[in-house]
Structures are given as structure tokens and as C-alpha cells.
Amino acid sequence: MTFETVIKDLQQLIGKRIESIKPGSDIILNEVNSKQGRVIITNSTGIKKTRPLNELKLLWDKLNELPAVHVDETLHGSGSSRNQPETIMVNLPYIEWFKYKNKKHIAYIGKKSHEFGTKRKMDENNAEILREKMRGNTTGNLNTVIISNEITSIVQLFIKMTSITPITLNYDFYKFKYLENVILFISSKVINYSVPEGTYSVIKKPSDFSVIPEVQIENEWYCHKTINGLNLLIKI
């Protein structure tokens, strides 16, 4: 998605009172003017203010580069009331927010999860996945995914057999690093039972292979195929 598309989407927020993550800092988005490179907002005290459109462009670029963005750090030196561009962005339906190290972060999730002009706090499972990425706990290559309704018991068995310590994200999602590979154990309910139980080898989508996205794991989309007893998760 390009920033030009984001600008078009921002038009759907014009005239709406949109909620800030910070209580009491709601704003009204009055105008988005790409030719003049500015947005005009009315703050919570009724005062109109102009902000540069480049702020939103910078945030969008960072949202496409990083797992999540802390707006104050990204817009350092850009003046006060930096929660205003944060508020605008988080009211887009494909951006959610969560806290990392007790600071608000926003993330582009690649799909619509809430309505225009509303904000959504990220599901804790997904938020913890992003926190792990931000901590740097994403080394290795994902090559095996195990999906089960009995995740606790099979993880305990795996630990007993291999003596490998997991990077535990929560009780429904476990990550293990084995040599240079990464193995994920996922509870079926985390992925809304969209993929049957089983052990899946992860491969990249062949260029001439037509697939439909079925499940999102660590912000990547996959579809599943079973071919002559071989379970595959195909990364799209």
C-alpha cells in the first residue's frame, strides 16, 4: 500500500471526532491537503492547528520498515502535541496500538481490523509477537510449525526430549531455536482453527503457484496444503 492510498483513506476521517490513545486528547480532522503538504485539525480545546503532512509520511514509511513505531521517538524535534499525528494514524483501520516498555507503539497490520475513525488495542498474542521481534528474539529461519489443541502437553514433551529452552511468548504460542532453525508450537485457537492440527514444513511460495492467504503467523501470511501426507505451510 502506498502513502497516496493512505491519503485517500484519511479523507474518510474528515469531520470526525477521533479518539486519542491518550485520554482527553481527541481531535477533529478538518482537512488533508496533499498539494500544500498539510493537515488541519481542531484540538480538544477547540483550537485549529496545522501540521505537516510529512509527519504522517514519515510514520507510514517507518510502519512499513519496523515491527512497530513509537511516535514521539520517530518525530523527535517536530514540536509539541505529537499525539495528534499518532491519533490520526491509529484511527485508520489497518493500524493498531500496544505498549512496549510502557510506551505506546503503533503497528501496521496489513488488513482491516476496525472501522475508520475508531482505534483498536492490539490483541495481546499479536502484541507479544511484535515485542519479541523488537527485543531481537527472531533469529533463525522458521521451517516448522506445529499446530495442536493440546499445546501445553506436546511442548512439555518436546522440552523433555530435546532439553531445549523455549522462547515462551504465552501459553498458546511457543518458539524454539534449534541450530539455525526456528520451530513454532501454536495452539489451534490462536489461528481460529483455520488450519488443521498437524506438523507443517514451511516453504516459500513457488512463483507459478496460485494460493489464497489463510492464516497469519508473526505478521506473515500462509496457506496450507497437504500433498500425499506431506503437510506444507506456504509463505505468501
Q: Give pLDDT tens digits for 192-234.
A: 888 999 999 998 887 777 778 888 887 788 999 998 889 999 8
Residues 58, 44 contacting (CB under 8 angstroms): no
Per residue, the 3-state secondary structure of 78-138, as one string, reads: CCCCCHHHHHHHHCCCCEEEEEECCEEEEEECCCCCCCCCCCCECCHHHHHHHHHHHHCCC
Neighbours of 145 (CB within 10 A): 23
Task: Say what the pLDDT of residue 136 is.
Answer: 65
| Weakest-pLDDT range from 51-60, 135-144, 180-189 | 135-144
Does the structure show a pLDDT above 80 at 170?
A: no
Say whether both 115 and 9 belong to one domain.
yes
Residue 129 lies in a domain: no
Mean pLDDT of 142-157: 91
Q: Is 28 exposed, middle or buried (0-12, 13-18, 19+ CB in 10 A)?
A: middle
| Weakest-pLDDT range from 29-38, 113-122, 163-172 | 163-172
Residue whose grid cell is 520517530: 74
Looking at the structure of the chain, the number of domains it has is 2
**Residue 8 host element (H or E):** helix 3-10
Residue 128 lies in a domain: no
Neighbours of 167 (CB within 10 A): 16
- Phi then psi for residue 108, to 5 deg, are -85, 120
Residues 184, 145 contacting (CB under 8 angstroms): yes
The pLDDT tens digits for 68-95 are: 999 988 887 544 567 899 999 999 999 9
**Domain limits for position 199:** 135-235
Task: Tell me how far apart the alpha carbons of residues 137 and 3 are, in angstroms, rounded to a whole number.
Answer: 30
Task: Say what the pLDDT of residue 80 is.
Answer: 52
* CATH number of residue 213's parent domain: 3.10.180
Task: Tell me how far apart the alpha carbons of residues 139 and 75 are, in angstroms, rounded to a whole number.
Answer: 29
Say whether both 224 and 148 belong to one domain.
yes
Does the structure show a pLDDT above 70 at 138?
A: no
Task: Say what the pLDDT of residue 94 is.
Answer: 95
Mean pLDDT of 176-196: 85
Residue 76 lies in a domain: yes
Task: Say what the pLDDT of residue 130 is.
Answer: 85
Distance of CA 147 to the CA centre of its chain: 21
Full-model pTM? 0.61
Say whether both 102 and 185 belong to one domain.
no
98, 122, 146 — which closes off a domain?
122
Say whether both 16 and 94 belong to one domain.
yes
Task: Say what the pLDDT of residue 178 is.
Answer: 75
Say whether both 102 and 141 belong to one domain.
no
Provide the mean pLDDT of the chain. Answer: 87
Say whether both 96 and 202 belong to one domain.
no
Mean pLDDT of 149-167: 88
Residue 74 lies in a domain: yes
